[in-house]
């Protein structure tokens, strides 16, 4: 069948009348497809869009990690900003959408690689294939920092001893810290007793050969040469295993600068869902900060870093489940600016308390525009106005868009 692609769908597939969804196509193209139902497979581009570019990765089309390497940057970013605008409109929200901040290739410092049994010396390692549980064994990954790409052969060697049990399906959560690669491994069958002593020894030996900073098994240290550390503003933080970081360093810096700028003039700040202090330390250069997060290990890392961070106006921190125990409006009496950066599920419970409070300005950071729009509606209904939103594209060539929004009462 031949189809004319009219628009771009929310997951990055081209959409023809029907609707029929075709991956790897662009608006304005005429294509030949195969298959049945509302999802077809591309066979040939008969008339290409002027916006089509050559994908930079040899694994594109097979790998499920990227969806949009074939689209030029300007229309790709415009599409992401428009999707954000449409998501907000569903909650009847209009605001100023700023020019998106976009990261480039070779900037991802945090990736998850899946491993499958290979040879005795090297596992198969990569991303899941598109719409499949099969693995695409990668040689390069253009979205990732060069240090991660260079380590792919060593990571394959590291994963080889992990398959003693047939049910093991390991994933390597790789983070590039300032002191080297930090790898947390999950998916190793544990009910049978976990890895043998021999396998653990091989794991440590191969980590040492590659000069990795640390290797952990579901948070348990299996090898450590030095503490993985990152600089967050004026602080140096030692990361707990599996700690959350923004996906790229440059996007983190841009978001932190935007958040701190929006908090200018505050007398007291609440940093909710603070993690290891992505925004806390920069905010504490503006005003005293009270930070809270459900991850006790992250809060401990934040607190430990305070001693070596000069020039702060004061930070208190607590481990607290902000879903079951949100910071109450009564506890925010002396707070005039609040920042929240929740997981994808959003911050419904905490937002309800912010809406009840006397906080004058709220800055919301989100990786999910839909839950952000829901939470924004709660604040707007309580008398806030969403002044502006900064879209952030740090999951390059994917349909995902992040954002920072500034609310004023």
Instruction: Find out whether 23 and 43 touch, Cβ atoms under 8 Å.
Output: no
Give the residue from 398, 408, 403 showing the smallest Cα distance to 23: 398
Q: Which of 57, 66, 274, 367 is catalytic?
A: 367
How far apart CA 265 and CA 245 sit, in angstroms, is: 27
Is position 73 annotated in a ligand binding site? no
First to last CA, the chain: 54
DSSP letter, residue 317: E
Instruction: Find out whether 312 and 234 touch, Cβ atoms under 8 Å.
Output: yes
134 dihedral zone (left: phi>0; alpha: psi -120 to 50; beta): beta
CB count, 10 Å around CB of 334? 11
How far is CA 280 from each of CA 45, 210, 284, rounded to the nearest angstrom?
49, 33, 6
Answer positive or negative: Cα dihedral of 76, 82, 84, 87: negative
Instruction: Find out whether 211 and 281 touch, Cβ atoms under 8 Å.
Output: no
How far apart CA 282 and CA 339 sit, in angstroms, is: 12
Element containing residue 298 per DSSP (H, E): helix 296-305
| DSSP assignment of 169-194 | --EEEEEEETTEEEEEEE----TT-S
Is position 273 annotated in a ligand binding site? yes
Contacts of 78 (CB under 8 A, 6+ apart): none
Element containing residue 398 per DSSP (H, E): none
How far apart CA 45 and CA 96 sit, in angstroms, is: 37
- Beta strands 2-8 and 14-16 are antiparallel
Two structure tokens written together for 94:
């209009």
What does the radius of gyration of the chain's CA atoms come to, in whole angstroms? 23
Is position 198 annotated in a ligand binding site? no
Two structure tokens written together for 47:
């008339």
Catalytic (active site) residue 367: yes
Catalytic site positions: 367
Residues marked as binding for S-adenosyl-L-methionine? 246, 273, 293, 341
């Amino acid at each position: 069948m031949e189809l004319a692609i009219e628009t771009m769908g929310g997951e990055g597939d081209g959409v023809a009348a029907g609707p029929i969804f075709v991956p790897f196509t662009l608006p304005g193209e005429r294509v030949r497809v195969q298959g049945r139902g509302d999802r077809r497979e591309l066979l040939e581009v008969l008339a290409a869009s002027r916006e089509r570019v050559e994908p930079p990765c040899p694994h594109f089309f097979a790998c499920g990690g990227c969806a949009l390497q074939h689209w030029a940057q300007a229309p790709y970013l415009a599409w992401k900003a428009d999707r954000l605008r449409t998501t907000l409109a569903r909650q009847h929200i209009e605001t100023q959408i700023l020019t998106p901040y976009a990261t480039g290739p070779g900037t991802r410092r945090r990736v998850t690689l899946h491993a499958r049994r290979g040879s005795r010396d090297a596992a198969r390692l990569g991303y899941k294939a598109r719409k499949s549980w099969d693995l695409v064994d990668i040689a390069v990954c253009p979205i990732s920092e060069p240090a991660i790409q260079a380590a792919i052969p060593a990571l394959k060697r590291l994963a080889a001893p992990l398959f003693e049990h047939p049910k093991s399906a390991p994933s390597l959560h790789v983070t590039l810290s300032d002191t080297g690669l930090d790898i947390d491994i999950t998916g190793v069958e544990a009910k049978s007793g976990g890895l043998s002593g021999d396998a653990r020894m091989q794991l440590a030996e191969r980590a040492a050969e590659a000069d990795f900073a640390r290797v952990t098994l579901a948070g348990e240290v299996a090898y450590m040469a030095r503490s993985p550390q990152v600089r967050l503003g004026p602080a140096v933080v030692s990361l707990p295993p599996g700690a959350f970081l923004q996906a790229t360093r440059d996007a983190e810096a841009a978001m932190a600068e935007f958040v701190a700028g929006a908090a200018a003039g505050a007398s007291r700040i609440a940093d909710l869902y603070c993690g290891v202090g992505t925004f806390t330390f920069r905010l504490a250069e503006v005003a005293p900060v009270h930070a809270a997060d459900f991850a006790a290990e992250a809060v401990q890392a934040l607190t430990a870093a305070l001693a070596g961070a000069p020039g702060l106006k004061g930070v208190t921190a607590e481990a607290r489940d902000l879903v079951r125990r949100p910071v109450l409006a009564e506890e925010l009496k002396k707070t005039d600016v609040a920042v929240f950066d929740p997981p994808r599920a959003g911050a419904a419970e905490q937002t309800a308390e912010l809406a009840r409070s006397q906080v004058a300005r709220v800055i919301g950071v989100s990786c999910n525009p839909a839950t952000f729009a829901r939470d924004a509606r709660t604040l707007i209904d309580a008398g806030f106005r969403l002044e502006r939103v900064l879209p952030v594209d740090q999951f390059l060539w994917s349909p995902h868009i992040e954002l920072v929004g500034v609310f004023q009462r």
